[in-house]
Copies of this chain bind each other. A is one copy, B any other.
Amino acid sequence: MIPRYSREKMASIWSPENRFRIWFEIEAHACDAQAELGVIPASAARTIRERGNIPYTAERIARIDEIEAVVKHDVIAFLTELAEHIGEDARFVHQGMTSSDVLDTCLAVQMVQAADILLEDLDALLEALKERAFEHRMTVTVGRSHGIHAEPVTLGLKFAGFYAEFRRARERLLAARQDIGTCAISGAVGTFANIDPFVEAWVADKMGLRVEPLSTQVIPRDRHAYYFAVLGVIASSIERAATEVRHMQRTEVGEAEEAFSKGQKGSSAMPHKRNPVLTENLTGLARMVRAYAFPAMENVALWHERDISHSSVERMIGPDATVTLDFALARLTTVMKNLAVNTKNVERNLNMTGGMVFSQRVLLALTQAGVSREDAYRLVQRNAMEVFENGGTLLERLKGDAEVRAFLDDAALESLFDLNVHTRNVDVIFERVFAE
């Protein structure tokens, strides 16, 4: 997470202000619950909430840091500073709880908050993709496998494919958000020895979380691993979309390009260049988000009821993965919204192989006319290779091939070179992708 690839809203989730604020809320809610139970005086709970409910200013944060430098324990530092505002009743704060009750429940809240932003990001991206998909629903372009021209598709199908993929991303992220959203207030080793499970249920409810069924001081880390793995898969989908744009923009293809803002310079040395730098950047960012899934998985195998090896990892990848992915999704949305399609080049490329994109139709027609599959293949390949090496169009070549003519006459051949065949089911696919 570096400023260059950060957006304020997501970054602020990981700020000390937000963290301490959530910590305070957890503690205050826990006090309310303890007061309900009669464990602590109701007046104390009120005092705690009233006096503690003040913003975490830079000064307060500095004070907490100062204490932590001595006690080397972040939650104790937080509680000590809080006590300076609350006074004597501060001794009722955190009763029966352990640091991880606060830390892990807070992390769950932050990861839910982050997921909510990412879901918004995905919604914006989906909207942009849908719009471009319908805009180019019938813009015929060449489909490529192995980077080689295959058969016609439409640009709209490309966008629709990304749409479908990010819809799946959305579903998986929703599942991960649901999975991560648990609250643990279960004490030192999760046995509720010194705290009633009622407190946990109360705090969970107030914080919009579910109760963690079984915590062992910590919330089990398979939840976090799953969450970061899902982010890694989403990042990989970003890479796919980015790679498509990079290909479309390359000089020889020229079918689309990232919008070029006024004043922007492509190269310090070569003034004519318009480079797909945004999508190349997205490719790199995807690598990072993917990499963060690895330590998240290694974090699962904590020793016994817990060790703290996961903590440094999460202090890093919590912000790094979510902030980077948020930035990347937003950037991809911008790219997709503003992608300049060059329809002239789209058409040029479609036609550049002399109609070879229709070869499979010829193959099928020959088969249906009684030629064996093997022979049909040989006949088409022979003419295709001729076009490939010596130019001309496949249609002409076929018309001139006596062995082919034995089965298909001019009219029959011409009918096979028809773009409409390739677009006739676009609506069926759109219906599937955009239904509901």
Provide the residues of chain B in CB contact with A402, threshold 8 Å. Answer: none
| A123 on interface, CB distance cutoff 8 Å | no
Q: In the bound complex, do residue A147 and residue B303 qualify as a contact, i.e. CB atoms below 8 Å apart?
A: yes
Known A-B contacts A265-B76, A287-B298; the reply to A148 vs B222 at CB < 8 A is: no
Instruction: Tell me the A286-331 residues at the B interface (CB within 8 Å).
Output: 286-288, 290-295, 297-313, 315-317, 320, 324
Instruction: Tell me the A169-207 residues at the B interface (CB within 8 Å).
Output: 169, 172, 175, 179, 187-194, 197
Known A-B contacts A264-B71, A300-B240, A381-B271; the reply to A161 vs B372 at CB < 8 A is: no
Partner of A281, one of B153, B312, B359, B422: B312
In the complex, the chain B residue whose C-beta lies closest to that of A75 is B268
| A267 on interface, CB distance cutoff 8 Å | yes
Q: In the bound complex, do residue A143 and residue B304 qualify as a contact, i.e. CB atoms below 8 Å apart?
A: yes
Among A226, A261, A285, A310: residue with most chain B CB under 10 A: A226
Provide the residues of chain B in CB contact with A232, threshold 8 Å. Answer: 225, 229, 293, 297
Q: In the bound complex, do residue B191 and residue A385 qualify as a contact, i.e. CB atoms below 8 Å apart?
A: no
If over half of A's interface residues share one DSSP class (helix, strand or loop), that class is named, otherwise mixed; here it is helix
Known A-B contacts A233-B297, A295-B291, A353-B251; the reply to A304 vs B268 at CB < 8 A is: no
Known A-B contacts A188-B360, A294-B294, A352-B252; the reply to A301 vs B243 at CB < 8 A is: yes
Q: In the bound complex, do residue A315 and residue B4 qualify as a contact, i.e. CB atoms below 8 Å apart?
A: yes
User: Closest CB of chain B to A8's CB: distance in Å?
Assistant: 16
Question: A145-B267, A271-B363, A274-B388 known; 19 other A-B pairs, CB under 8 Å?
Answer: A72-B264, A73-B264, A75-B268, A144-B305, A145-B275, A146-B280, A146-B306, A151-B193, A165-B222, A175-B175, A191-B423, A194-B421, A213-B433, A236-B297, A244-B303, A272-B388, A277-B308, A287-B294, A291-B292
Partner of A273, one of B146, B303, B352: B146
Among A53-61, A93-101, A108-116, the stretch that binds chain B is: A93-101
Instruction: Tell me the A312-358 residues at the B interface (CB within 8 Å).
Output: 312-313, 315-317, 320, 324, 349, 352-353, 356
- Closest 6 CB pairs between A and B? A272-B384, A143-B189, A147-B250, A146-B275, A284-B312, A236-B300
Partner of A277, one of B146, B153, B164, B368: B146
Known A-B contacts A252-B352, A295-B288; the reply to A304 vs B144 at CB < 8 A is: yes
Provide the residues of chain B in CB contact with A146, threshold 8 Å. Answer: 246, 273, 275-277, 280, 303, 306-308
**Band of interface residues on A:** 35 or more
Copies in the complex: 4
Q: In the bound complex, do residue A374 and residue B252 qualify as a contact, i.e. CB atoms below 8 Å apart?
A: no
Among A165, A295, A372, A433: residue with most chain B CB under 10 A: A295
Q: In the bound complex, do residue B269 and residue A98 qualify as a contact, i.e. CB atoms below 8 Å apart?
A: yes
Partner of A98, one of B236, B244, B264, B267: B267
Separation of A261 and B71 alpha carbons in the complex (Å)? 9
Q: In the bound complex, do residue B305 and residue A216 qualify as a contact, i.e. CB atoms below 8 Å apart?
A: no
Q: In the bound complex, do residue B222 and residue A168 qualify as a contact, i.e. CB atoms below 8 Å apart?
A: yes
Query: Can you show 8 pairs from A to B with CB atoms below 8 A apart?
Result: A73-B264, A143-B305, A147-B303, A147-B307, A150-B305, A192-B429, A214-B433, A236-B298
Separation of A207 and B242 alpha carbons in the complex (Å)? 34
Q: In the bound complex, do residue B364 and residue A194 qualify as a contact, i.e. CB atoms below 8 Å apart?
A: yes
Q: In the bound complex, do residue B144 and residue A272 qualify as a contact, i.e. CB atoms below 8 Å apart?
A: no
| A83 on interface, CB distance cutoff 8 Å | yes
